[in-house]
Chain A
Amino acid sequence: MQNFGSNNDLDEKGHVMTDQPKIKVKFEPKPKPSTCPICTVEYYQQFFDIEQRDVYMRIRCSLLSWKPEFYQCVGKNPDLWGPLWISTTIIFILFAGGNLSRFLLEEDKRHFKYEYNYMYVAVLIVYAMAFIIPIILGVIMKYILKSELGVFEIVCMYGYSLSVYMFVLVLCIIPYNEAQWFFLMCGLANSTIFLLVNLWDFMKKNKQTTLIAVPIISFNLALILCFKFYFFRLIYAVDD
């Protein structure tokens, strides 16, 4: 017989009886209804779920561009770290290296004029190449050509395809015309082959080879022409 008295009586087991029956109430914090899921950090964390070992493997995959192994490297986990920081590194190399290359050619080193516009043009070109063009291509591929590759995988692939330019542009600081063209051509070949080889299955299946290959090749070609004729142009002093 239990009575819930308010004095501190003992019940038959020797426990102190209290006013209320002993009900265990577990307080769980209610999850906040997110009014703006895109605004939280957690939404974007899924795009950065990567370790340094993965980044090394993916860059290695892109440098050995003739092997169509990128999807095995990426698995189900494409990331945004690679595209973002590879393109930022390239912007820095263009800005610093372009100015350094002109400085090495300059005869009168005291009157060297630093070109700050390089940074703004570099930001525009490289981020367009790394993000805007793959998003457009990905949207066309996914929604018009009905591929199973998402927009995000295409952005990831384009980002890692630019990784060869990190090394090529450092070598382009050497102020010799032929050397610069040689390195840029190597970079172009590597980057284009990487993209085409990894998209080859899709292109063959849908028989849309020209529609995809032509924009890829032409945008890559435009990119290296920009590199050569804006950042690394060699202006020799004219003798009177």
Chain B
Amino acid sequence: MTDNHQVPFGSGMFQGQAKFVDYAHMNQQEVQVNTLDEPVMDTLLRDINMILYKLSYVIIPRMKETQGRKLRNCKRLDQIKIGDLWGPLLLSLLLAMTLGINSNQSSDTIFGTIFIIMWGGSAVITVNAKLLGGQVSFFQSVCVLGYCVFPINVAAVLITFLQSYLGFFLRLIIVGAAFLWSTFSSLSFMSSMMNEEKKVISVYPIFLFYMFLSWFCIFI
């Protein structure tokens, strides 16, 4: 009786082979192979958990740069290191829909505008950081900027539901708080990549970007 008896596809055979691969690749390989025959709910729940895990980094803004650097370099956080674009896509869709539904005119213009600003803006900020000499990976940066839009989403949804109760100044306060929260969340990550003398000029576009997005929420 030999050890290598035939095992059905996907359940044990590939796991046996995977132990010869190093850790960084094993995650990806395991995930890729096992998702072929697991229930759809499992795949969805795993992706949702990944998104929520990254959102936890946004909800508790990491002010210290050392934590930002840890976030970037940590080998165990393979998924954050790789960066995914599902989270930013969901958040941008949610924001564009929220603002589009509430506007009393041209909701398709708003939807398109928010999309373009969000994705084009993230790309421009990342290219700006790269041109100033930062060691930044394009997708990782777009991922972080996308996730940090979450507080602005929260503000937009709040204003949608409490529209009739909120005067202009209360909206301004809510949106202002969301804007500051977003900016501080992305600050530690972005400034950990730049030299001391170039921090302000690489962070200023982020400030402008979130202010642009927040401004749309005030007048819905």
Contacts and interface: CB of A to CB of B under 8 A. Distances in A.
Interface of A: 41, 44-45, 47-48, 50-53, 55, 81, 85, 88-89, 92, 95-96, 99, 103, 109, 112-114, 116, 119
A58 B128 CA distance: 19
A52 B109 contact: no
Classify the interface of chain B: helix, strand, loop or mixed.
helix
Contacts of A114: 103, 105, 219
Given A41-B130, A109-B168, A116-B113, A51 B201 contact: yes
Given A44-B131, A48-B132, A112-B219, 11 more contacts: A48-B133, A51-B197, A52-B200, A53-B197, A81-B201, A85-B204, A92-B215, A103-B168, A113-B104, A114-B103, A116-B109
22 contacts: A41-B131, A45-B133, A47-B131, A48-B133, A52-B197, A53-B197, A55-B201, A81-B128, A81-B132, A85-B204, A89-B208, A92-B212, A95-B215, A96-B215, A103-B168, A109-B168, A112-B219, A114-B105, A114-B219, A116-B106, A116-B110, A119-B113
Contacts of A89: 208
Classify the interface of chain A: helix, strand, loop or mixed.
helix
Contacts of B204: 85
Interface in B95-120: 103-106, 109-110, 113
Contacts of B133: 45, 48
Interface of B: 103-106, 109-110, 113, 127-128, 130-133, 168, 197-201, 204-205, 208, 211-212, 215, 219
A113 B131 contact: no
B208 A50 contact: no
Nearest to B197: A51
Contacts of B211: 92
A45 B204 CA distance: 18
A92 B208 contact: yes
